[in-house]
Amino acid sequence: MDNRIVAPTLAQLYFQAAERYGELPAFATSKGPLNWHPVSFRELYEQGLDLATGLIRLGVQPGDHIGLFSDNRVEWILADYGIQLSGAVNVPRGSDVTEEELVYIINHSGIKVAFVEDPEFLDRVMLQKERLPNLESVILMDGGESHFTGVEQLGNVRKAGADHRSDGDESAVRRMAETDPKDLFTLIYTSGTTGTPKGVMLTHSNMMSQMEMIPIDLSCTDRVLSILPVWHIFERVFEVYTISCGACTYYSGVRTLAEDLLQVEPTFMGSAPRLWESLHQRILDGVRQAHPVRRFLFRTGYGLAHYYKASLFFMRGNDLRLEPVSRWVRAIMYLMHMLRWVLLLPWYGFFNAAVLEPVRQRTGGALKATVSGGGALPSEIDQFFNDLGIPVLEGYGMTETSPVIAVRTPEKLVVGTVGPLMPKTDIRIVDLESGAILFPSDKSGGGRGKKGEIEVRGPQVMKGYYRQPELTKKTIRDGWLRTGDLGMMTYNDCLKILGRRKATVVLSSGENLEPEPIEMCLKQSPFLENCMIVGQDQKHIGLLALPSLEGFQKAGMSVETLEELIQNPETKKRIRQEVRSRISRQRGFKRHELIRDIRLIPEPFTVGDEMTGLFKLKRHRIEEKYASLIREMYEREG
């Protein structure tokens, strides 16, 4: 049964959800083990109206940009309700923002009113107050003490609004009617290729297109666990979708996740590869420590499940199909898979019940599906969970496409791909060199199996980058958004992602970083001739470093050749010191930008092979050449 609400604007969606779902819990936060506090759709909407009225009284105009600087908490959603109901636009960011970015965001987007999570965050904002001439008022969300002037408490703003409403102030309700679907609902700053954040403008209709198209059905009886930062559009879309379906969002955190999974027994969640990596690790550790009988049962069960599922996937047409296969060959393979499936069925049935089900219980045992996004899911982990029977649906998207472009569905669950395209979404695959359109094409196969840059067109594509028309024009041409990602269409019409054209490194936690500024900073060291940041889809970044023979000689080391230099244990120690002092939190780098591991490379980069004529690194080539070094770097953590 499909009962999602689709409305022209977010404010109207919030209103309709309150009408339809009333007293059902919309959000719940944990106050301790087995002690959660629910907020109903009705309460949230009423409180949102109070807050909106309070904001309007503070002078907030329709379309104003309101800062929302906070990590996940129920007040975040309340603030969003208030902002949407007052017709304004929010500019969200979490506590991992650096001071420089914060100042840039507030000034660039022209924020006059900002919500700030707690006194600690407030201090960070207030210390920069002199550089923020336009910031007029700050609203503290958690009710903590503040010794600054001009700081309001969220509770007080809401209460003032409530008083006005009881006196007959209906301005918030009027604002709701005035908002147009083409208006912005949020302005999300992402760190882009240039290093300075870019403000992605998303409209109500962008958001609603996602509400309409998400191919997973939820209802009032679903429980959604939230662990990803809500200011990321990926998590936010799922939270709004949860509201739209009348399900309840339960806020969890990294530390309490394992316990919350068992308490809440979620039926759905947005997740990042990192979560599955750590769960995978925990399950394997558990198996390793189990006594031999259990280990044997698990291994047998998992092995059976692997082949059973492979046959099942094949029979459903959900195998990974990168090359064209004739109908006859497929028919024969089909029969063989059917035979294998039948033979394995009784055994799988037993092991599934006795061995695999208890493992699935670790995620609460009720998960119907989970969408993994924000980075590529390592293939063996993807395979592992889908074999186990935890349907991990990998999706693909970006903030600029609010965010989902393609996602696997329970029916079309092709491991190794990001699934079919969302409805109403078109893509084309463009050749990197010639710019020719490879997919779709009239040739046989329709251009499937051809690798190139993905360009996307659809109702989810952003309006543009805020106050950056040039950049917008470069990114969106004739309605087609250039994603910067490389991919291909498989022969069963699923999208497979093959890497990034741009240098951006996306860690498995979903955090993005630009390697170039870090490399630039490192190359200023006399000891480093050249270097490259690696770590795509890994937990943290690593460095391939080419030590400078000259630099070390000048520093008094008696070495003649590069080989000798690399053999010398002093070299690595020295470079490590250098890296540590240059790339540090004190120097304004974020935690995920810190370099954990270093490998020395034995020969200089040459123009034409590893570098372009302009001395820019050809990252794909270098990654290919030093693949074993990179693997070694990440293998140890296993």
Partner 1 sequence: MEFDTQLLHDIDQLLLGLMILVIMFGMGASLTVDDFRTVARKPRGVLIGFLSQFGLMPLVAWSLSVFLQLPPEFAIALILIGCLPGGSTSNMFSYFARSSVALSIAMTTASTLLALLLMPLLLEFYASTFTREISDAMRAAGSDTNFVIPTGNIVGSLLLVLIPAGAGMVLRVRSRAWAKTAEDTAGFVAIIVILYLIGTAFFRHGSLFLETPWQVYAASICVGLMGFLFGYWFSRLFRLEPIFQRAISLETGIQNGPVAFAIILLSFSEPVQSQMLWIAILYSTFIVMTSSGVTLWYRRIGERDWEIYQNTAIHNRLFGESYISHYPQEFLPQRVAHDPSQGSTPAQNRKSESR
Which positions touch partner 1 (CB under 8 A)?
3, 20-25, 28, 34-38, 219-223, 246, 263-265, 267, 290-291, 293-294, 297, 346, 349-350, 353-355, 357-358, 366
- Choose among 391, 419, 435: nearest CA to 490: 419
* Distance of closest approach, residue 35 Cβ to partner 1, in angstroms: 7
Helix (H) or strand (E) holding 179: none
* Distance of closest approach, residue 351 Cβ to partner 1, in angstroms: 8
Q: How far apart are CA 391 and CA 387, in angstroms?
A: 9
Considering the complex, state which of residue 264 and residue 622 has its C-beta at the smaller distance from partner 1: 264
* Distance of closest approach, residue 424 Cβ to partner 1, in angstroms: 28
* Distance of closest approach, residue 299 Cβ to partner 1, in angstroms: 13
- Choose among 189, 262, 170, 270: nearest CA to 228: 270
* Distance of closest approach, residue 283 Cβ to partner 1, in angstroms: 15
The answer to whether 229 and 235 are in contact (CB under 8 A) is yes
Considering the complex, state which of residue 223 and residue 408 has its C-beta at the smaller distance from partner 1: 223
The answer to whether 600 and 545 are in contact (CB under 8 A) is yes
Considering the complex, state which of residue 303 and residue 526 has its C-beta at the smaller distance from partner 1: 303
Is residue 221 packed enough to be buried (19+ CB in 10 Å), middle (13-18) or exposed (0-12)? exposed
> Residue 342 corresponds to which amino acid?
V
Length of the chain: 638
Considering the complex, state which of residue 1 and residue 614 has its C-beta at the smaller distance from partner 1: 1
Considering the complex, state which of residue 39 and residue 595 has its C-beta at the smaller distance from partner 1: 39
Considering the complex, state which of residue 299 and residue 587 has its C-beta at the smaller distance from partner 1: 299
> Residue 12 corresponds to which amino acid?
Q
* Distance of closest approach, residue 80 Cβ to partner 1, in angstroms: 23
CA 448, 425, 369, 279 torsion-angle sign: positive
493: left (phi over 0), alpha (psi -120 to 50) or beta: left
Considering the complex, state which of residue 17 and residue 272 has its C-beta at the smaller distance from partner 1: 17
Q: Half-sphere exposure (CA, 13 Å, Cβ side) for 10?
A: 30
Q: How far apart are CA 342 and CA 338, in angstroms?
A: 6
Tokens of 504: 């951006």
- The DSSP call for residue 376 is P
Tokens of 81: 């309700």
Phi and psi angles of residue 226, each rounded to the nearest 5 degrees, phi first: -110, 120
* CA distances for 112 relative to 55, 106, 197, angstroms: 12, 8, 19
Is residue 598 packed enough to be buried (19+ CB in 10 Å), middle (13-18) or exposed (0-12)? middle
* Long-range contacts of the stretch 142-146 (C-beta < 8 A, 24+): 142/73, 142/75, 142/117, 142/118, 144/118, 144/119, 145/119, 146/119, 146/122
Considering the complex, state which of residue 221 and residue 379 has its C-beta at the smaller distance from partner 1: 221
Considering the complex, state which of residue 293 and residue 614 has its C-beta at the smaller distance from partner 1: 293
Considering the complex, state which of residue 267 and residue 417 has its C-beta at the smaller distance from partner 1: 267
- Name the residue with tokens 């660039």: 108
> Residue 22 corresponds to which amino acid?
G
The answer to whether 141 and 79 are in contact (CB under 8 A) is yes
Helix (H, G, I), strand (E, B) or coil at 351: helix
* Distance of closest approach, residue 50 Cβ to partner 1, in angstroms: 22
The answer to whether 473 and 443 are in contact (CB under 8 A) is no
Helix (H) or strand (E) holding 450: none
* Distance of closest approach, residue 3 Cβ to partner 1, in angstroms: 7
- Choose among 218, 195, 245, 215: nearest CA to 471: 195
The answer to whether 198 and 190 are in contact (CB under 8 A) is yes
Q: How far apart are CA 568 and CA 566, in angstroms?
A: 5
* Distance of closest approach, residue 352 Cβ to partner 1, in angstroms: 9
Phi and psi angles of residue 376, each rounded to the nearest 5 degrees, phi first: -80, 140
* Distance of closest approach, residue 223 Cβ to partner 1, in angstroms: 7
Considering the complex, state which of residue 294 and residue 590 has its C-beta at the smaller distance from partner 1: 294
* Distance of closest approach, residue 411 Cβ to partner 1, in angstroms: 16
Helix H, strand E, coil C: the string for 188-224 is EEEECCCCCEEEEEEEHHHHHHHHHHCCCCCCCCCEE
* Distance of closest approach, residue 235 Cβ to partner 1, in angstroms: 21
Q: Give the distance from CA 624 to its chain's centroid.
A: 26
* Distance of closest approach, residue 492 Cβ to partner 1, in angstroms: 27
Considering the complex, state which of residue 134 and residue 219 has its C-beta at the smaller distance from partner 1: 219
Considering the complex, state which of residue 183 and residue 357 has its C-beta at the smaller distance from partner 1: 357
* Distance of closest approach, residue 294 Cβ to partner 1, in angstroms: 5
Question: Angle formed by the axes of helices 204-213 and 10-21, to 10°?
Answer: 50
Considering the complex, state which of residue 284 and residue 353 has its C-beta at the smaller distance from partner 1: 353
* Distance of closest approach, residue 47 Cβ to partner 1, in angstroms: 18
Considering the complex, state which of residue 35 and residue 166 has its C-beta at the smaller distance from partner 1: 35
